[in-house]
């Protein structure tokens, strides 16, 4: 979930401090932390919540006055208004949820902030860079206070996402004792290069170079390092494991069994079937596939135009995306991780949400068949009910927050305990 946090704080003189809070809704709840600090007479605030996959999100427009604390969190669809009143060292207040569409108040909940004795920064973070394929790439080394002398590398994912998308998980696994490394994919964040024109193999080459750098920096042998990736990062997991057979394990989240093109097409179908209609979706999907095939360099523009001209007058055609002739080709769309699942020898955990509208719903079954042909003796396939592609939980009682599935991180933690013993 994308969100903007605007915090306005009213209080007396303030020193650096963390506050923990909880929002209860129905039978569920989520926790969050507000970290406040004062620099050059300016108060800064940061928001963190493992359940919301958020870590130290900088807040905006922070001011101090009297004994009231108020802040807003703005997501794609909702605005969350938190308002508190000072009570000794803590705050007591409520959360109001508004619709962005019509500004209507949807729900109100009580929520308090309690001064935390434990600071949010319980791990040492170090900004580092390494060189891969002539590019300078930047990352973060997360070192826990109580290390178990094992490493976890977070593989880069799709689109222009930088390392901030995995910071919450880096923090979580560091608290389990793992030394973690995540980095900005080429062309994202601080890293040089262009991710759009790169192939999956080139991006995997960056990951492999990053793992080698990680191992050198920590002095961990590869057999003490595991890798984890989601979506496009998940499809890279079996490829990297086959290229680096010394690695300890792999965790592949929301990984398609086919090509990335097939996943993009499946997502398009799920997003547009309501507008196109069941009676037209099969034909419309075939036409959309020609657009993706041209993007992937599988089809000439002449053939794409023939298909376009044949169906352009159909009512449903307005929902089909047809690329321009000079569009940059995306060769990543032709990549499939399935052949590499058959070649791995390391333990691997594959997790798929059963409400994932991106990858084909039978992906986990096909991947399991491939793993049965591999040399891996410790593999597990886990499916999570009411869980999306991004591992968030579909909660009908309270749909206003995108919270991680309650079994997601716990299941990974338990699996790690088994394979590490």
Does any domain span residue 51?
A: yes
What does the pLDDT read at residue 62? Answer: 65
Cα distance between residue 384 and residue 407, in whole Å = 7
Check whether residue 204 and residue 77 sit in a common domain: no
| Sites in the chain below the pLDDT cut of 70 | 1-15, 41-42, 60-65, 117-121
pLDDT digits 0-9 by tens, 84-101: 888 888 889 889 999 999
> Is 222 in the same domain as 157?
yes
Domain extent for 57 = 3-115
What pLDDT is recorded for position 64?
Answer: 58
Residue 318 sits in the same domain as residue 342: no
Q: Is residue 171 part of a domain?
A: yes
Contact (Cβ atoms closer than 8 angstroms) between residue 94 and residue 111? yes
Q: Is residue 265 part of a domain?
A: no
Shared domain check, 358 and 336: yes
Cβ neighbours for 127, distance < 8 A, ≥ 6 positions apart? 138, 139, 140
Task: State which of 52, 86, 115 marks the end of a domain.
Answer: 115
Find the CATH number of the domain harbouring 12: 2.40.128.120
**Tokens (6 digits) for 411:** 């299941």
Q: Are residues 408 and 318 in the same domain?
A: no
pLDDT at 401: 84
Asked if 340 and 298 sit in the same domain, the reply is no
Domain count for the chain: 3
Contact 336, 264 (CB under 8 A): no
Q: Say yes or no: 301 and 336 in one domain.
A: no
Residues 338 and 325 in one domain: no
φ and ψ at residue 189, rounded to 5 degrees: 55, -125
Domain-terminating residue out of 115, 133, 151: 115
Q: Specify the pLDDT at position 69.
A: 78
* 192 and 52 share one domain: no
Q: Within 13 Å and on the Cβ side, how many CA atoms surround 290? A: 22
Which domain CATH number covers 255? Answer: 3.40.50.1820
Q: What is the pLDDT of residue 8?
A: 40
Note whether 8 and 61 are same-domain residues: yes
């Amino acid at each position: 979930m994308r969100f903007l946090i605007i915090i306005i704080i009213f209080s007396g003189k303030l020193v650096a401090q963390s506050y923990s809070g909880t929002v209860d809704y129905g039978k569920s709840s989520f926790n969050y932390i507000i970290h406040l600090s004062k620099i050059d007479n300016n108060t800064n605030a940061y928001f963190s919540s493992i359940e919301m996959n958020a870590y130290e999100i900088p807040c905006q427009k922070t001011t101090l006055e009297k004994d009231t604390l108020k802040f807003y969190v703005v997501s794609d669809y909702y605005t969350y208004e938190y308002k508190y009143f000072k009570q000794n060292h803590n705050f007591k207040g409520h959360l109001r949820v508004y619709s962005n569409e019509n500004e209507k108040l949807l729900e109100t909940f009580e929520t308090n902030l309690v001064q935390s004795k434990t600071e949010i920064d319980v791990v040492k973070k170090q900004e580092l860079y390494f060189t891969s394929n002539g590019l300078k790439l930047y990352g973060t080394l997360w070192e826990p206070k109580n290390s178990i002398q094992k490493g976890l590398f977070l593989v880069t994912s799709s689109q222009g996402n930088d390392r901030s998308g995995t910071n919450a998980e880096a923090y979580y696994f560091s608290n389990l004792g793992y030394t973690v490394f995540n980095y900005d994919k080429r062309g994202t964040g601080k890293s040089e290069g262009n991710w759009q024109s790169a192939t999956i193999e080139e991006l995997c080459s960056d990951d492999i170079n990053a793992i080698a750098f990680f191992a050198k920096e920590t002095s961990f042998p590869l057999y003490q390092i595991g890798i984890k990736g989601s979506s496009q990062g998940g499809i890279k997991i079996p490829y990297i494991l086959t290229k680096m057979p010394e690695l300890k394990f792999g965790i592949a989240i929301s990984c398609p069994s086919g090509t990335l093109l097939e996943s993009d097409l499946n997502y398009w179908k799920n997003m547009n079937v309501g507008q196109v209609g069941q009676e037209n979706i099969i034909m419309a999907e075939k036409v959309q596939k020609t657009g993706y095939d041209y993007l992937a360099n599988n089809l000439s523009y002449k053939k794409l135009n023939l298909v376009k001209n044949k169906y352009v007058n159909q009512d449903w055609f307005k929902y089909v995306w047809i690329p321009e002739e000079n569009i940059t080709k995306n060769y990543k769309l032709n990549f499939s991780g399935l052949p590499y699942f058959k070649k791995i020898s390391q333990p691997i955990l594959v997790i798929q949400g059963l409400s994932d509208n991106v990858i084909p719903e039978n992906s986990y079954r096909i991947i399991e068949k491939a793993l049965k042909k591999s040399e891996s003796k410790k593999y597990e396939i886990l499916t999570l009910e009411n869980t999306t592609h991004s591992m968030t939980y579909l909660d009908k009682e309270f749909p206003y927050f995108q919270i991680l599935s309650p079994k997601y991180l716990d299941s990974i933690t338990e699996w790690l305990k088994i394979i590490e013993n």
